[in-house]
Amino acid sequence: MKRIYLLFFCFTYFFCLSQNNKSQSLPTASTALNIEGYSPLRLLVHGGIGFGKVKNNSNPNYNLNLDYFEFLINYRVNNLFGIATGVGLNDFSGNGFNALGNFYHEREELKLPLLATADYVINEKIRAIIGIGFYAKTNLTDDYRFLNTLEKDIYEDWSMGFQGNFSLVFKFSEILSFGLNLNTQTDFTDIEPTPGRVIDDKQRIENISALGVLLLVKF
């Protein structure tokens, strides 16, 4: 997961450099289009840490720590509203137990969100961005480490859920803005284990809460 973070942040860093170079050739403020409207597209990159709860149908529930990352393209219909989609990564880890004993659970999820966004301008330097919508996701890895065994990829199903984001963003330049992001997620469909595995119980991940940082890039 750390390698994925590094690749995304490196891409974002060089993308930002290229956008800053482009901004040098933009018309001055007196002759250019209003910076709010000169392009309807922007890039939203955010990530951070949090926690969530695994809710099982039969086995005990347990909590997991979370590292999350999202890479979204936001199309603004107007200065207030827009839609956003892209790719997200959730990296869960933590301890739990079931009928087989204690285990350490590690799971990496690939998430595909589709969000409606809204902007609220507080002043010329600060704005709030809200995103609400749904996602589909599946597991990239899913490891249960028991005392003497390692069970891999027990759950390979797709699930769906609801997501909400709230960001407070500070304008750094005409191209770049930075801010804080509050992220909430909850699955509303269960995933089922692959038949014949040692764990035979439907589950979902609920009550995900996370806090992180956000980078906004205007195209």
DSSP line for 107-132: EEEEEEEEEEEEEEE-SSSEEEEEEE
* Domains of the chain: total: 1
Structure tokens at 190: 């269960």
Q: How confident is the model at residue 17 (pLDDT cuts 50, 70, 90)?
A: low
Alpha helices in the chain (DSSP H): 2-23
Q: Is the pLDDT of residue 34 over 80?
A: no
DSSP reduced 3-state for 200: coil
Distance CA 25, CA 146 (A): 59
Output the pLDDT for position 190: 95
CATH number at residue 190: 2.40.160.20
- Residue 201: φ, ψ to 5°: -155, 130
pLDDT at 78 over 50: yes
Write out pLDDT tens, residues 173-195: 888 999 999 999 999 999 999 88
Domain that includes residue 65, residue range:
2-218
For residue 35, pLDDT beyond 80? no
Indicate yes or no: pTM above 0.75. yes
| pLDDT above 70 (res 46) | yes
Q: Tell me the mean pLDDT in the region 53-66.
A: 95
Residue 156: exposure state from Cβ atoms within 10 A (0-12, 13-18, ≥19): middle
Q: How many of the other CB atoms lie within 10 Å of CB of 147?
A: 9
User: Across the chain, how many H-helices and E-strands are there?
Assistant: 1, 9
pLDDT over 60 (residue 31): no
Q: What is residue 27's predicted lDDT score, i.e. its pLDDT?
A: 46
pLDDT value at position 39? 74
pLDDT tens per residue across span 144-172: 999 989 999 999 889 999 999 999 999 98
